[in-house]
Chains A and B, each alone.
Chain A
Amino acid sequence: MAIIVDESTRAVVQGITGHHGSFHTGQMLAFGSAIAAGVAPGRAGQSVHGVPVYDTVEAAREAQDINTSVIFVPAAFAKDAAMEAISAGLKTVVVITEHIPVHDAMELMSLAEREGTTVVGPNTFGICSAGTCKLGIVPNQIFSVGGIGLVARSGTLTYEIVASLTADGLGQSTCVGLGGDRVAGLDFVRVLRRFKDDPQTEAVVMVGEIGGTAEEEAAEYIKTEFNKPVVAYIAGKSAPPGKRMGHAGAIIERGRGTFQSKVEALKAAGTAVAELPWEVPGLVRSALAV
């Protein structure tokens, strides 16, 4: 099973001829993802790692069986690219690009909501269902197939935690990168809803950070509706208020979004919270044993 991407995913890479687009197309193919097409305006007829390139998403869709897009185009053009994919009727759009203006993000989320499209990101490492499909920039070698779902706001911290799960023999169903921006297509609650209905997922790891109230909203959902054990790690215990900690969304504003508020809400919902990233596998094992 898994969620959002699986063996039925057939992807188009928008921005496939760029430095990152081309490098990571190679990595995604090596993982075993079905990359059926690439898009780069003015580059139709070329190929990247054997993947045929088209001028537009609709041209790619006419020629190939595709249902998902992964976007590597520069920030100034990312809204256009995502809207193109949504308008072409693709059901899932994964936006890797960082530094997208927040108004562009709001505009594309408004369209996605109307069209019923799932947007992963922006500013995300992507999404990976172990053993079947990876769309994004997360390293291939850290995954193993199993029953742990993971949902995270940060990329490199996720690599850290997935690698420690794998080393501990805890395989994964799907790892979802929400992205580090203030406006994102998914949040913890939206992803937990999908994990709830996924038979492969036995427990969920949440990787949160300071800023916003998504972790507090997740805690409320876990308390009232969620049916599987959850283990969380929250980054930013040492972050001073009012300072943007790398991610546009990682900032304590007007007293909201603090580490303490998130940890207290999650603990009150019965979620185990790890103090250090590598404590996660142990907590998952004890949560599953209960």
Chain B
Amino acid sequence: MKLYEYLAKEVFARRGIPVPRGGVASTPEEAEARAREVGGPVAVKSQVLAGGRGKAGGITFADTPAQAREAAERLLGTELKGLTIEKVLVEEKLAIRHEIYLGVAIDRSARRPLIIASAKGGINIEEIPEEDIVRRTVDVAVGVEPFVGREIVRRLGLDQAVGKQVADILARLYKVFRANDAELTEINPLVVVEGGRVIAADGRLNVDDEALYRHKELPYVEERTGLEKKIHDLGVSYVALEGDIAVIANGAGITMGTLDTLMYYGGRPANFLDAGGGTGSDEMAAAISLLLETGPSAFLVNIFGGITRCDEVAKALIQARQASGADVPFVIRLVGTNEAEGHRILRENGMEAFRSMAEAAQKVVALASSRASAAS
């Protein structure tokens, strides 16, 4: 789950990371009030979950509360990078002297948190030359002791006054990362302002979805919309694609392999849907019904059972097909745990299952293309 900048900054502030003075607004009137509270020039920043907001015109500056109100009027309710702007963050305009990048991510190979820092911040980390980036993994059993910060700022080449503040902010940012089960937390830019104070001008905090159950204190930010949300709520993984063959398989690898196989035979998958291990009949049936609503020309179910039992899958398929009443052709590939029982149930209900993935894939591609040509 990604938090909006204003929410990430609230979390940062609670951990003692300096953030600009200001507040969030949902209406132009609120924006004007926030600007008045700040006093002086402000930045009005669109709150959407996308990078590059500045370049896209989502961040403007205002010298007076009236101008802040006008800026909010222009931004609120419009779309930025395909996302509707529902809130703006109004905060003091900073007199920027220098921009730093500071982040904590996960190093998959090292199996540890990874500190990423650069004295050349303010642009996307991918655009910073490799030689200007400092990286260091952290043992979670040790954490970020002060020496880590001293070493990072030494390698960044920061002067002592700034370095001391950056080292302190790094230790706090690491605590934000750990305490919130973050996948990524980032301050870009971390700004050195005229006078030498260091302030987090932006904030990113992405929380591990698997750990949300223990973060009831965080507001829930819904990124998914419509069908994606409905299917996700069933407890299965879903990604919409552009083709016309609906796909359900169990297991991420086999689902990806099924899509790759369909494309190999000239088919176009409509979606990725990994029903996972141990998905119950009701959820499977509900997922099938939702996919049928998207109007696919054919449906491929590919199940190689592990935890998933073929007999449960067979029951779910029959239930879903009966409930939908749709005439979309189903091609079923079913092998694995309790296979014989699964096939028996399907046969008793007038359905047939393939054992070969190649045959099933070719069959569904043929059915989809004959329906497409019949329709045209």
Contacts and interface: CB of A to CB of B under 8 A. Distances in A.
Interface of A: 20, 24, 27, 75-76, 98-107, 109-111, 114, 125, 137-139, 152-160, 163, 180, 182-185, 187, 207, 209-210, 212-214, 217, 233, 235-240, 243-250, 254-255, 275-278
B272 A114 contact: no
20 contacts: A75-B210, A101-B214, A103-B140, A103-B178, A107-B140, A110-B141, A156-B254, A157-B256, A157-B257, A159-B304, A187-B109, A214-B109, A235-B254, A235-B257, A237-B260, A238-B263, A245-B252, A246-B276, A275-B264, A276-B358
Interface string B233-245: 0000101010000
Interface string B193-219: 000000000000000101101100000
A154 B306 contact: no
A187 B357 CA distance: 28
Interface in B294-335: 304-307, 335
Given A139-B306, A160-B357, A182-B108, A110 B139 contact: yes
B337 A155 contact: no
B256 A235 contact: yes
Interface string B93-131: 000000000000010110111000000000001100000
B54 to A, nearest CB: 19
B90 interface: no
A255 B251 CA distance: 24
Given A239-B256, A240-B239, A137 B277 contact: yes
A277 B257 contact: yes
A235 B253 contact: yes
B28 interface: no
Q: Which 3 pairs across A and B sit closest by C-beta, in order of nearness?
A: A154-B253, A246-B252, A156-B251
A207 B208 contact: no
Contacts of A107: 140-141
Contacts of A156: 249-251, 253-254, 304, 306
A107 B138 CA distance: 11
B273 to A, nearest CB: 9
A157 B208 CA distance: 26
Interface residues of B, number: 51
A160 B211 CA distance: 31
A101 B210 contact: yes
Interface of B: 106, 108-109, 111-113, 125-126, 139-141, 178, 181, 183, 208, 210-211, 213-214, 237, 239, 241, 249-257, 259-261, 263-264, 269, 272, 274, 276-278, 304-307, 335-337, 357-358
B178 to A, nearest CB: 7
A102 B259 contact: no
B319 to A, nearest CB: 21
A238 B210 contact: no
A276 B264 contact: yes
Given A106-B106, A106-B113, A139 B256 contact: no
Nearest to B235: A99
Contacts of B269: 238
B253 A152 contact: yes
A254 B126 contact: yes
B1 to A, nearest CB: 12
In the complex, which of the residues A154, A212, A233, A235 has the most CB atoms of chain B within 10 Å of its own CB atom?
A: A235
Contacts of A246: 237, 251-253, 255-256, 272, 274, 276
Contacts of B251: 154-157, 246
A72 B304 CA distance: 20
B257 A243 contact: no
Nearest to B278: A20
Given A101-B211, A245-B237, A111 B141 contact: yes
A250 B109 CA distance: 14
B108 A250 contact: no
B260 A238 contact: yes
A255 B126 CA distance: 9
B109 A114 contact: no
Contacts of B252: 154, 180, 209, 235, 245-247, 250
Given A107-B141, A243-B272, A276-B358, 20 more contacts: A75-B210, A102-B211, A110-B141, A111-B141, A154-B254, A156-B250, A156-B253, A156-B254, A183-B111, A209-B252, A212-B108, A214-B108, A214-B109, A217-B109, A233-B257, A235-B254, A235-B260, A246-B251, A254-B126, A278-B357
A207 B337 contact: no
A245 B139 CA distance: 29
Contact of B237 (A104, A244, A255): A244
A9 B304 CA distance: 27
A209 B336 contact: no
A155 B257 CA distance: 12
A182 B106 contact: yes
A214 B111 CA distance: 12
B342 to A, nearest CB: 12
B180 to A, nearest CB: 9
A278 B106 contact: no
B235 to A, nearest CB: 10
In the complex, which of the residues B249, B254, B264 has the most CB atoms of chain A within 10 Å of its own CB atom?
A: B254
B232 to A, nearest CB: 11
B249 to A, nearest CB: 7
Nearest to A189: B109
